[in-house]
Structure 1
Amino acid sequence: MDAEITLLAGTAGTTIATLLASDTWNGVRNGVLALWRRVRPDREEHVAAQLDASRRDLLDAQAEGDEETEREIAAEWRGRIRRLLATHPELAAELRSLLIQFAPEGPAAMTVTQHATASGSARVYQAGRDLNLDQR
């Protein structure tokens, strides 16, 4: 599996789960359904039902103070998106555009790419955002 697809699917799953209970939900829902409609129109109704069920589950969980459900929903959507991209990698650009449009942190959150190589006794510290090191 291409690492870029895996990373993109992970970001998408987390973003979808985060936005389930947001004011932008209808736009996200329509964007996700458009992906399926392009390559699997026969699955659109089923995916819509899964999105709606995920939203209901998250809203119920938030009302009960259950924080684990959002992580579980993110994992479910991460898998669904990964499988979709694995068979239809041409959707990656459209998915990136959707995530940039709706990402809670804005477009800058979608542009982090890191590579590092260490050998011997070298240390590599990387962070996509904040990094605090205590060098005592």
Structure 2
Amino acid sequence: MDPEVLAQTAGATVVALMATDAWVRTREGVVTLWRRVRPLQADEIGTALEETREEILAARRDEDAASAEDLERDWRRRLRRLLLADPTVAQELERIFEAARASLPEDEQPRIPMVQMQAHASGHARIYQAGRDQHIVER
């Protein structure tokens, strides 16, 4: 999977799982992964995860969607950098999140955004697709 797409899904997943009973499992998995890839940052990431969890719980309690989106964006950036530094962690990251989601009853599993696009072109057609922002400059 493309690191950008995975980072977007992973950011949403980690924040969504923070408000569930699967949180401890998720946190342990992410910190263990970080410890393997970037060991000097693992303790800092563990602390950041805990702080973010407190913030997301408060944002949900206060129905503050903007704060929740900011927290998600922050984790997308962190996870994107991790994936770009070592693309081999993608499968492990997906496994951590899938195991955490699977440990929850089906009705408590957080919805995870999924981007799936298909395009077909012929002749001199052009196709531009994006799961998020897209800027095109043609000359």
Please give the root-mean-square deviation of Cα atoms over the aligned residues, in Å: 2.6
Alignment of 1:22-61 (within 5 A): 22-61=20-59
Cα 1:56–1:39 shift into 2, 3 Å: same
Identity among equivalent positions (%) equals: 36
State the 4+ residue runs in structure 1 displaced beyond 6 angstroms.
109-112
What is the CA-CA distance between 1:78 and the residue it aligns to?
A: 0.5
Cα 1:60–1:110 shift into 2, 3 Å: closer
Segments of 5+ residues of structure 2 without an aligned counterpart are 102-108, 128-139
What is the CA-CA distance between 1:63 and the residue it aligns to?
A: 2.1
Cα 1:110–1:71 shift into 2, 3 Å: closer
Q: How many residues align?
A: 118
TM-score computed with the length of structure 1 as normaliser: 0.75
Q: Where does residue 134 of structure 1 map in the other structure?
A: none
What is the CA-CA distance between 1:21 and the residue it aligns to?
A: 1.1
Q: List per-residue Cα deviations over 1:8-49 (Å, max 9, x = no partner).
A: 111000001111111100011011111101111111110011
2:68 pairs with 1:62: no
Segments of 5+ residues of structure 1 without an aligned counterpart are 125-136
RCO higher in 1 or 2 (8 Å CA, sep ≥ 6)? 2
| Cα separation, 2, equivalents of 1:13 and 1:96 | 11
Is the 1:18–1:70 contact (alpha carbons within 8 Å) kept by the matching residues of 2? no
